[in-house]
Amino acid sequence: MQTKYLASILTLGVTLTAIPVMPSHAEETFKVPTSYELQNKQQQLKVTYSTTSFTGEPRLDYQKGRQILQFAGDEIQTTKTEIGTLVTVTLYKTVDTGSTTFTLLIPAVNIGASNQANIITKGITTVNRFSTIPAFNEGQRQTYTVTPLFGTAQALVF
């Protein structure tokens, strides 16, 4: 009787190993972009952001009209949030009146096998008001200008 029981277990084991297993959704490849080329509809603002470069550090190029600014390494701050990654650079800074920063909102993107995806996002210019006269520092000290941006995200190898 034990031999019969053992034979049925072996038969079940052989049968189970012959069943093909389909990969689950969780095992799909999620390919993250390393480069973003964005602009606004009027093409007045163009932003190129790379998470890495030949030197291994991130780069961000900001062009608004004739103004062209380039940032690299520690000049670029990144913060991961629930709404995406915030990539911030300081456009203008003074000792006595404050600063202006630009923040690019990078959404989660899976570029998959195509190695490229179209994206729509926002750029936020923040004016940080400051005065050496304490009475002028009361009230709202930051104002925002939001610029819709569109373009492509792709994976580049450096």
Which tens digits make up the pLDDT trace of 102-112?
999 999 999 98
Tell me, what's the pLDDT at 3?
54
Note whether residue 20 is domain-resident.
Answer: no
Note whether residue 8 is domain-resident.
Answer: no
Range(s) of the domain holding residue 42: 31-154
Domain total of the chain: 1
Note whether residue 127 is domain-resident.
Answer: yes
More confident call, 17 vs 124? 124
Smallest Cα–Cα separation from 124: which of 97, 104, 109, 154?
104
Note whether residue 111 is domain-resident.
Answer: yes
Smallest Cα–Cα separation from 91: which of 132, 50, 63, 55?
63
Q: Is the pLDDT of residue 9 over 70?
A: no
Q: How far apart are CA 77 and CA 108, in angstroms?
A: 17
Note whether residue 143 is domain-resident.
Answer: yes
Residue 29 in 3-state DSSP? coil
Note whether residue 2 is domain-resident.
Answer: no
Torsion of CA 46, 77, 106, 158, to 10 degrees: 80
The CATH code of the domain that includes 90 is: 2.40.128
**17 token code pair:** 């190993």
Note whether residue 53 is domain-resident.
Answer: yes
Tell me, what's the pLDDT at 117?
94
Residue range 80-139, pLDDT digits in tens = 999 999 999 999 988 777 899 999 999 999 998 889 999 999 999 999 887 767 777 777
More confident call, 76 vs 3? 76
**50 token code pair:** 């790379």
Note whether residue 18 is domain-resident.
Answer: no
